[in-house]
Amino acid sequence: MKRNIPEIIYGTAWKEDSTESLVCESLKMGFRGIDTANQRRHYNEEAAGNAISQVIKSDLKREDLFIQTKYTFPSGQDHRIPYDIGDDYRTQVKKSFLSSLTHLQVDHIDSYILHGPSVPYGWAQNDWEVWQEMETIQNEGGTNYLGVSNVNIEQLRILFGGANNKPVFVQNRCFAQQGWDKDVRVFCKDNGIIYQGFSLLTANSFVLPAVKEIAENANKTPAQVLFKFSMHIGILPLTGTTSQTHMKEDLSLDFCLKDEDIEFIENIAIHRK
């Protein structure tokens, strides 16, 4: 049974020294889902943990939060690798996970994600070794859910077909020009997987002015319309805004779009041609 999963998640990538203050602010504003990774190249997981610890001590309980982090292959890391480069892959995962628990100052993770397979196509033996260790972590109670990021439809089918513990989440960058990752989304819907979409705004900047009229009619911003649209088509959105105003707006999505507006946005890349 899926539980404690928020409707929108705050993403912490590329925030560096501002990570702690921004995560604190996001939680105080009302976000309950935090996405990070044990990949110092793009994330400051330890700073996210400091923020989570502060808020738990003052305002929230651990069970109020949905904390998601990731194992990243060496090819996705810089020199600040959270395991020994010579370790076998299962040991890498184990060390990375234990390091994440320390960084985040918690005793379990709600969602543990493979931060992308090691190959651009197909599924390599080392990908299976990583997934098997992730399954062990889940079986031992270290995480509630497993997931995978940055996958194409072929890779997702292979993983889903061969995994003992099926992924509950897929997290992909979502492009309007690719039908909002339609093939992957449909597979997720058909197999009970929750699709998490990131870069919804930054990867689709041309969409915002195109939905201005829809936003005005709904008395919302174009960004709010895009996030609400994503929910309508089965996407759990991530937002990485650094603006308090936008945080508040991203949490104010208690409205509905008309069917014709949803259809227009879903096919907006076709209209653009």
How confident is the model at residue 4, as a pLDDT? 85
- Mean pLDDT, rounded, of the chain: 96
How confident is the model at residue 270, as a pLDDT? 74
CATH topology of domain 9-173: TIM Barrel (3.20.20)
Closest Cα to residue 6, out of 110, 103, 104?
Answer: 110
How confident is the model at residue 272, as a pLDDT? 64
How confident is the model at residue 269, as a pLDDT? 81
What is the model's pTM?
Answer: 0.96
Closest Cα to residue 130, out of 142, 113, 144?
Answer: 113
The ranges assigned to domains in the chain are 9-173
Per-residue pLDDT tens over the stretch 68-115? 999 999 999 999 999 999 999 999 999 999 999 999 999 999 999 999
How confident is the model at residue 1, as a pLDDT? 46
Per-residue pLDDT of the chain (273 residues), as tens digits, is: 467 899 999 999 999 999 999 999 999 999 999 999 999 999 999 999 999 999 999 989 999 999 999 999 999 999 999 999 999 999 999 999 999 999 999 999 999 999 999 999 999 999 999 999 999 999 999 999 999 999 999 999 999 999 999 999 999 999 999 999 999 999 999 999 999 999 999 999 999 999 999 999 999 999 999 999 999 999 999 999 999 999 999 999 999 999 999 999 999 987 665
Distance between CA atoms of residues 100 and 122, nearest Å? 28
Secondary structure, 3-state, 61-122: CHHHCEEEEEECCHHHCCCCCCCCCCCCHHHHHHHHHHHHHHHHCCCCEEEEEECCCCCCCC
Instruction: Say which amino acid occupies 171.
Output: Q
